[in-house]
């Protein structure tokens, strides 16, 4: 039972290359499965989220983060009577365009491209991956995903204009994305905010007293857990508070979005697309707490001194590897050398490095740059 404003698979704008229907999977389910079986999806297992494996192999990777986003997204989509299959596909693909070494690698790659008048954008990179780089089918390049999944890749977290990106004009850039795509940006925020608090505490970079003092959304639940489990170890009280914080964010997003949908009067997907703003949103109070938690993580974890040496090394590896291939295109794999005939060399190099895992880019750097 889908809400009248949910995306319906039978109303899909279809695939770029027509395919016969599958006997027992709908088009969005097939998209989900194609994403899971993609090489780029598997590589997320060896791409940094926040912590490299120098700290521990227990911490989130880009892949486990993606799985957590998918789980949260499915729950919220079901509660709102949205299309769970489309939501899950979008959650699973949302980070597929990220390069090695997390945000440090992304900054370095973007900076390297800017020196050549270009840029790196992980959403646009994700579209390139599913449209062209994945080679699994004899009839077409890419994964041949439905329009709705490709649109969600582009629009779930960013507004592009046809003036700046005419190549994206087909994706209805002047309209809002479906609610299923709108969800992903905020479920991503919920997932990494709570997960990074967890991993940061586990890594002993975040102190319990400091988290309690600076993250009100956490402290509110910790006080209750301390009263309920006075003899439990701090770590278990931390866990109990954190999962309730996550649940609180999810519940608020469901309740506030449901209220906004009702107040907006939207009755169809077309109404959602033409509404002047996104309808999926936290309440003002929870949005303030979420921003507070995010600011705390930036201040005490993402920009912390203990993580800086690894970030600087990551940026050095990505930058020097990029510069090496630009200076020595003959060192690129043959398939990438062929692309230079019809694409800019720097874009081809960027594509190659963006697809690497943390381990592989280090191996390439050691082999080619540090000799």
Q: Domains for the chain: give ranges and CATH numbers.
A: 9-308 (1.10.3210.10), 309-368 (no CATH)
pLDDT for residue 371 = 72
pLDDT of 41 above 80: yes
pLDDT of 56 above 70: no
Question: What would the pLDDT profile of 125-139 be if each residue is shown by its tens digit?
Answer: 999 999 999 999 999
Q: How far is CA 310 from CA 43, 59, 206, 207, 313, in A?
A: 20, 16, 18, 21, 5
pLDDT for residue 58 = 76
Q: How far is CA 271 from CA 3, 30, 159, 257, 264, in A?
A: 13, 27, 18, 15, 9
Tell me what percent of the residues of the chain surpass a pLDDT of 70.
Answer: 98
pLDDT for residue 196 = 95
CB-count burial class (<10 Å; 0-12, 13-18, 19+) for 121 = middle
**Are 66 and 45 a contacting pair, CB within 8 Å?**
no
Global pTM value: 0.95
User: Which residues lie below 8 Å from residue 78, measured CB to CB, with a gap of 6+?
Assistant: 84
Nearest to 243 by CA among 226, 280, 218: 218
pLDDT for residue 59 = 87
User: Which residues lie below 8 Å from residue 28, measured CB to CB, with a gap of 6+?
Assistant: 9, 12, 83, 85, 86, 89, 146, 148, 149
pLDDT for residue 182 = 98
**Average pLDDT value over all residues in the chain:** 95
pLDDT of 55 above 70: no
Report which of residues 307 and 15 the model is more confident about: 15
Report which of residues 53 and 220 the model is more confident about: 220
Band (52; pLDDT cuts 50, 70, 90): low
pLDDT of 54 above 70: no
pLDDT for residue 48 = 85
User: Which residues lie below 8 Å from residue 169, measured CB to CB, with a gap of 6+?
Assistant: 162
Q: Where are the beta strands (DSSP E) in 177-257?
A: none
> Average pLDDT, stretch 152-165?
94
Question: What would the pLDDT profile of 249-285 be if each residue is shown by its tens digit?
Answer: 999 999 999 999 999 999 999 999 999 999 999 999 9
Report which of residues 3 and 306 the model is more confident about: 3
Q: How far is CA 112 from CA 72, 115, 153, 210, 320, in A?
A: 35, 5, 24, 37, 9
> Average pLDDT, stretch 165-177?
96
The residue whose two tokens read 């006997």 is 23
Q: What is the CA angle 50-355-92, rounded to 5?
A: 65
């Amino acid at each position: 039972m889908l809400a009248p404003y949910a995306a319906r698979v039978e109303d899909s704008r279809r695939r770029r290359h027509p395919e016969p229907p599958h006997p027992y999977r709908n088009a969005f389910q097939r998209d989900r499965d194609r994403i899971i079986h993609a090489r780029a999806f598997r590589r997320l297992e060896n791409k940094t989220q926040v912590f490299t494996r120098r700290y521990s192999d227990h911490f989130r990777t880009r892949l486990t983060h993606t799985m957590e986003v998918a789980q949260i997204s499915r729950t919220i989509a079901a509660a709102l009577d949205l299309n769970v299959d489309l939501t899950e596909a979008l959650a699973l693909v949302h980070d597929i365009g990220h390069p090695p070494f997390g945000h440090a690698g992304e900054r370095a790659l973007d900076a390297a491209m800017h020196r050549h008048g270009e840029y790196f954008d992980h959403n646009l990179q994700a579209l390139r991956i599913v449209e062209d780089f994945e080679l699994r089918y004899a009839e077409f390049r890419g994964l041949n995903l439905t329009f709705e999944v490709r649109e969600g890749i582009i629009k779930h977290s960013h507004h592009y204009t046809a003036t700046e990106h005419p190549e994206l004009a087909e994706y209805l850039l002047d309209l809002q994305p479906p609610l299923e795509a709108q969800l992903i940006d905020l479920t991503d925020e919920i997932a990494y905010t709570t997960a990074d608090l967890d991993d940061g505490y586990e890594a002993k970079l975040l102190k319990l007293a400091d988290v309690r003092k600076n993250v009100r959304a956490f402290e509110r639940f910790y006080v209750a857990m301390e009263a309920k489990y006075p003899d439990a170890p701090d770590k278990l009280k931390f866990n109990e508070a954190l999962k309730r914080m996550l649940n609180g964010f999810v519940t608020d997003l469901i309740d506030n979005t449901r209220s906004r949908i009702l107040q907006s009067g939207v009755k169809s997907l077309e109404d959602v697309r033409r509404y002047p703003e996104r309808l999926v949103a936290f309440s003002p109070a929870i949005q303030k707490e979420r921003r507070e938690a995010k600011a705390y993580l930036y201040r005490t974890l993402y920009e912390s001194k203990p993580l800086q040496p690894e970030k600087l090394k990551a940026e050095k590896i990505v930058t020097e590897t990029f510069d090496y291939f630009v200076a020595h295109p003959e060192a690129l794999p043959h398939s990438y050398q062929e692309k230079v005939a019809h694409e800019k060399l720097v874009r081809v190099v960027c594509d190659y490095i963006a697809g690497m895992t943390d381990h592989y880019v280090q191996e390439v750097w050691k082999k080619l740059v540090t000799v």
